[in-house]
Chains A and B, each alone.
Chain A
Amino acid sequence: MAEILKVNQLHKYFDEQHVVRGISFSLNKGEIGCLLGPSGCGKTTLLRCIAGLELLSSGSISINGLEVNRHSYVAPEKRRIGMVFQDNALFPHLTVEGNIKFGLEHQSYENKKNIVKNLLKTVGLTENAGKYPHELSGGQQQRVALARALAPEPRLLLLDEPFSNLDVDLRESLSTEVRSILKRFSITALMVTHNQIEAFAMADQVGIISNGQMEQWDSSYEVYHRPATAAVAKFVGEGVLIQGKASSNGSIDCALGSLKPSTEVPPDSYQNILVRPEDIAIEESGPLKAMVAERHFRGANILYTLSLDSGEKILALAESHKAHTLGERIAFRLVMNHVVLFPMSNDV
């Protein structure tokens, strides 16, 4: 498959601040990538470097195998990259149609008309062609922004927190819709978000960025189930790390008993074990006991924080109609499919 985007050892400084610290990854044609990380982690800066809106400090960016940054800086307007902005940046003085047509200067009149018509149909806004941005709802505005970015048939589409100004329901439905549009036209896209649900709904490949570094670049499944670092494990999904110690027979002893890791662990080493809520099954006949420390009602289920005898806390989900009271000691069972371990830095 053709490699559309390749980012290699990218660094970006703002004055003294080292915002992007040596990030590398690549996207193939038709793939949707997603950079996920807390705000201020450098992901938007990375995206803007790819767009050409920021100059990078070192490293390289190639689009379609051609380097666009280091030795021969290519201006943003010459990169043939589409971008959907966080605040959608629609032109308030142009209609929906005018906005979509904006990037089609060199097309014939007929072509323009056809492209606009098709895109309006794709994003479901045929009726609104003549309206101005301020007459549209937030979701509609974002659809126009998408259509506008897609109109010049960019080689790569960048999306900067495209759904962050929308309410939660709309965010989820629109992200699924956008994915299906991108897939239908096999558009290569890179999105930046701090919302995991959005990232998982959209992406083929997810990159977890923390402190300007890429912690992991993998499929959504791998990122969730096999986090590469403790930072990824903490950031993605719910879960806690508890302490364990490897014994000589290769198993790990911790407050939840003896666990069998899939990989070899040096004996006597101390390990952090990732425990996710779905690893815990609350059952009256369960062999393990813990005290209910906190309770969060979530409608269909309740998220409990359980306090183990070791003092460590874990999370567990249970159906909401079988409520346990605070301070109650309850029984549970461990249902861990695979054990995720992170060696602790100092083996004390």
Chain B
Amino acid sequence: MSATNEVGEFREQNSIFRSFRTFRWNAPGWIVISFLLALIATTPVLVILSSYFFPEEDIWQHLVENVLQGLALNTLKLLACVIPLTALLGISMGWLTSACEYPGRRFFSWALVLPFAVPPYVYAFVYLGIFDFSGPVQGLIRESFPSVGFIDIRNTAGVSIILSLAFYPYVYLMSRSAFLTQGRSSMEAARMLGQTPIGAFFRVALPMARPWIAAGLLLVAMETLADFGAVAIFNYDTFTTAIYKAWFGMFSLNAALQLSSILVVFVLIILVLEQHFRFRMRFNETYTAAVPHQRLHLNGLKKWLAFITSLMIFFFAFALPFSQLIIWSWSNLNSDALQYLEQALNTFVLGAVTAAVTTLCAIIIAYSKQSNPGLTMKWNARLATLGYALPGTVLAVGIYIPAAWLDNQLLNIFTGITGSRINPLLQGSLIILIVAYAIRFLAAGFGSIDSSMNRITPSIVEAARTMGTTGTALLKRIYLPMTKTGLLTASIFVLVDVMKEMPITLMMRPFNWDTLAVKIFEYTSEGEWELAALPAVGLILTGLLPVLFLTKKTEE
């Protein structure tokens, strides 16, 4: 493979030079804004990385001596459990639903994506509630097997299972789409060369899907590193909870910064690997429009084994937690359900405003990339969407610092002119919260907008031009209608992501601006699972929207 990479790299470098030389700055206004957006989006990373140049010795000392080893070990243990577990769940289900035929396959192929609608912290508190001392499981164990005693799930295995239930759909969707696009002839070719169906799976289908699976697993790794809610509820210390504690508990911005700088290095490594595998996917794509799979008809025992496995996964990943939530919400519905109304409204307003802002930014970045082919704007887009890799806690730290600096500058100017003092403008404001959300979720919106813009080929634009359509008319008659669905998808993805978001909201929200996620965090930190249920149901139901989009896409 090394020879291939060299060729690829050489080509890339070559075209960097070429693109600089032949760059015809189309629509310069867009480009300036686009560069500016990328700059804003990369600021948090730069701020955090720059802390390596100004180390605070005593804080480092404290961190290294007391917490670092434990945090790193916990984080690595988590990764070491979650990655194989999601791989097992995701790949096996991806293969069964894409290449085999068994009872319920159609249902499972979309139902197994449903966990995407459930935030990890919801899994965490539902399962804690189910395994609570007074819960049904422990009761049963006490009665039937008194010698076993209390089973505590607040450990590495417990958190890993929770996170795997929440994150396996990444691997499932990626591997499934790989298996579907492989088409039937590679598998058939393997059969004709003497492989049994199982042999063909391990020797052809699986290795061909490797880049997809790897990319899916790296997304899982990113999410695992970024997760705050689930580990916080389980009292499992990782970098994200440590950053949060440093921020709120110790009020030490510097400690939070140092911890963030370590986590960011982890994240950047994963990010680079992920990009590498996305690049590799191109080579493993089949060249011609693939004939759809001829599904392998499972029979006898195999058929029911497949069914039961799928059912179990669906049960534990969705049916059980969701019904538990419904039961809890129902029992608390009469008390005062209206108390959530304000938070629900806050959540929705934040989501909607961020969705609008983010979609607009995504359009600008996608359009400037589209109208200026070459690597410059491609890299610009990549940098601008970097935020998806940043854990919310890290992003909060990375934004707070420059915001506070800006505030101070403004304050100085203001007092210099008027002599009186004002409150900080950015810190603890909605604006800075929305900026943070936008940075974090720009990738979610950009993806669908960019791919819908990709469908507008240069020749389509040229054809319109030859018929006299230019400027705003072009935007109105070609770009808007052709990207409509992309824009809608992007807005919904961002809206829902913001609504589910927990750490950024916790750390940056203005006073009294509680969202549903914040409320869930508060209730669960007091062990009030049942009170947290109703807002969680609300989040899951809205979370189903983008999942429907995803499943529709996978069925195409």
A residues near B, CB below 8 A? 51-53, 75-77, 81-83, 85-94, 102-103, 105, 130-132, 134-135, 148-149, 152, 165
The 8 Å CB contact of A134, one of B186, B194, B283, B288, is: B283
B4 and A102 form a contact (CB under 8 A): no
Say if the beta carbon of B193 comes within 8 Å of chain A: yes
The 8 Å CB contact of B192, one of A77, A105, A134, is: A77
Say if the beta carbon of B101 comes within 8 Å of chain A: no
A51 and B192 form a contact (CB under 8 A): yes
The 8 Å CB contact of A103, one of B194, B196, B284, B285, is: B194
Say if the beta carbon of B203 comes within 8 Å of chain A: yes
B286 and A132 form a contact (CB under 8 A): no
Say if the beta carbon of B208 comes within 8 Å of chain A: yes
B-side interface mostly: helix
Chain B residues with CB under 8 Å of A77's CB are: 191-196, 199
How far is B509's CA from A289's CA once the two chains are assembled, in angstroms?
95
B window 191-232: CB within 8 A of A: 191-196, 199, 203-204, 207-208, 210
The 9 lowest CB-CB distance pairs between A and B, nearest first, are A103-B193, A89-B185, A89-B189, A87-B288, A83-B192, A76-B191, A92-B284, A93-B207, A85-B185
Say if the beta carbon of B550 comes within 8 Å of chain A: no
Min CB gap A159→B, angstroms: 12
How far is B290's CA from A130's CA once the two chains are assembled, in angstroms?
26
Chain A residues with CB under 8 Å of B185's CB are: 85-87, 89
A152 and B196 form a contact (CB under 8 A): no
Nearest chain-A residue to B211 (Cβ)? A93
Chain B residues with CB under 8 Å of A91's CB are: 186, 189-190, 204, 207-208
B residues near A, CB below 8 A? 1, 3-4, 7, 183, 185-186, 188-196, 199, 203-204, 207-208, 210, 283-288, 290, 294
How far is B4's CA from A75's CA once the two chains are assembled, in angstroms?
37
How far is B3's CA from A25's CA once the two chains are assembled, in angstroms?
48
Chain B residues with CB under 8 Å of A130's CB are: 3
A87 and B286 form a contact (CB under 8 A): yes
Min CB gap A155→B, angstroms: 12
The 8 Å CB contact of B285, one of A51, A83, A92, A102, is: A92
Min CB gap B136→A, angstroms: 48
Chain A residues with CB under 8 Å of B7's CB are: 135
How far is B285's CA from A130's CA once the two chains are assembled, in angstroms?
19
Min CB gap A82→B, angstroms: 7
Min CB gap A212→B, angstroms: 20
Nearest chain-B residue to A80 (Cβ)? B194
How far is B199's CA from A89's CA once the two chains are assembled, in angstroms?
17
How far is B193's CA from A85's CA once the two chains are assembled, in angstroms?
12
Chain A residues with CB under 8 Å of B285's CB are: 92
Nearest chain-B residue to A82 (Cβ)? B192
Q: List 5 A-B contacts (CB under 8 A).
A: A83-B192, A86-B288, A93-B208, A102-B203, A103-B193
Min CB gap A87→B, angstroms: 4
Chain A residues with CB under 8 Å of B3's CB are: 130-131
How far is B188's CA from A132's CA once the two chains are assembled, in angstroms?
20
How far is B194's CA from A102's CA once the two chains are assembled, in angstroms?
9
Given contacts A87-B185, A91-B186, A91-B204, contact A81 B288 (CB under 8 A): no
Min CB gap B292→A, angstroms: 13
The 8 Å CB contact of A92, one of B188, B195, B283, is: B283
How far is B184's CA from A85's CA once the two chains are assembled, in angstroms?
11
Q: Which of A81, A105, A165 has the most CB of B within 10 A?
A: A105
How far is B205's CA from A91's CA once the two chains are assembled, in angstroms?
9
A-side interface mostly: loop
Nearest chain-B residue to A130 (Cβ)? B3
How far is B160's CA from A229's CA once the two chains are assembled, in angstroms?
71
Given A77-B193, A82-B193, A88-B287: 16 more A-B contacts, CB < 8 Å: A53-B294, A76-B192, A77-B192, A86-B288, A87-B183, A87-B290, A89-B189, A91-B207, A92-B284, A93-B207, A93-B284, A130-B3, A134-B283, A134-B287, A148-B189, A152-B193
Chain A residues with CB under 8 Å of B286's CB are: 87, 89, 92
Given contacts A91-B208, A135-B4, contact A165 B196 (CB under 8 A): no
The 8 Å CB contact of A75, one of B186, B196, B207, B208, is: B196
Min CB gap A110→B, angstroms: 19
B287 and A102 form a contact (CB under 8 A): no
Given contacts A103-B193, A132-B4, contact A76 B188 (CB under 8 A): yes
A165 and B194 form a contact (CB under 8 A): no
Chain A residues with CB under 8 Å of B199's CB are: 77
A152 and B194 form a contact (CB under 8 A): yes
Nearest chain-B residue to A92 (Cβ)? B284
How far is B1's CA from A131's CA once the two chains are assembled, in angstroms?
9
Chain B residues with CB under 8 Å of A103's CB are: 193-194
B4 and A85 form a contact (CB under 8 A): no
B189 and A83 form a contact (CB under 8 A): yes
Nearest chain-A residue to B208 (Cβ)? A93
Nearest chain-B residue to A103 (Cβ)? B193
Q: Which of A53, A89, A102, A149 has the most CB of B within 10 A?
A: A89
Chain B residues with CB under 8 Å of A132's CB are: 1, 4, 283
How far is B238's CA from A108's CA once the two chains are assembled, in angstroms?
51
The 8 Å CB contact of A85, one of B189, B203, B207, B210, is: B189
Given contacts A85-B185, A87-B185, A89-B189, contact A105 B194 (CB under 8 A): yes
B191 and A53 form a contact (CB under 8 A): yes
Chain B residues with CB under 8 Å of A75's CB are: 191, 196
How far is B191's CA from A77's CA once the two chains are assembled, in angstroms?
5
Given contacts A87-B288, A91-B208, contact A102 B190 (CB under 8 A): yes
B210 and A81 form a contact (CB under 8 A): no
B284 and A165 form a contact (CB under 8 A): no
Min CB gap A150→B, angstroms: 11
How far is B506's CA from A55's CA once the two chains are assembled, in angstroms?
61
Min CB gap A163→B, angstroms: 14
The 8 Å CB contact of B210, one of A52, A53, A93, A152, is: A93
Min CB gap B533→A, angstroms: 47
How far is B187's CA from A83's CA once the two chains are assembled, in angstroms?
12
B208 and A92 form a contact (CB under 8 A): yes
How far is B294's CA from A132's CA once the two chains are assembled, in angstroms?
27
Chain B residues with CB under 8 Å of A89's CB are: 185-186, 188-189, 286
Q: Which of A75, A76, A83, A149 has the most CB of B within 10 A?
A: A76
How far is B190's CA from A90's CA once the two chains are assembled, in angstroms?
10
Q: Which of B4, B190, B193, B194 has the most CB of A within 10 A?
A: B193
How far is B287's CA from A135's CA once the two chains are assembled, in angstroms?
12
A165 and B288 form a contact (CB under 8 A): yes
Q: Which of A83, A91, A105, A152 has the most CB of B within 10 A?
A: A91
Chain B residues with CB under 8 Å of A148's CB are: 189, 193
Nearest chain-A residue to B195 (Cβ)? A77
B207 and A87 form a contact (CB under 8 A): no
Min CB gap A94→B, angstroms: 8
How far is B207's CA from A75's CA once the two chains are assembled, in angstroms?
23
Min CB gap B450→A, angstroms: 24
Nearest chain-B residue to A76 (Cβ)? B191
Nearest chain-B residue to A102 (Cβ)? B193
Min CB gap B283→A, angstroms: 5
B194 and A85 form a contact (CB under 8 A): no
How far is B190's CA from A343's CA once the two chains are assembled, in angstroms?
49
Chain A residues with CB under 8 Å of B191's CB are: 52-53, 75-77
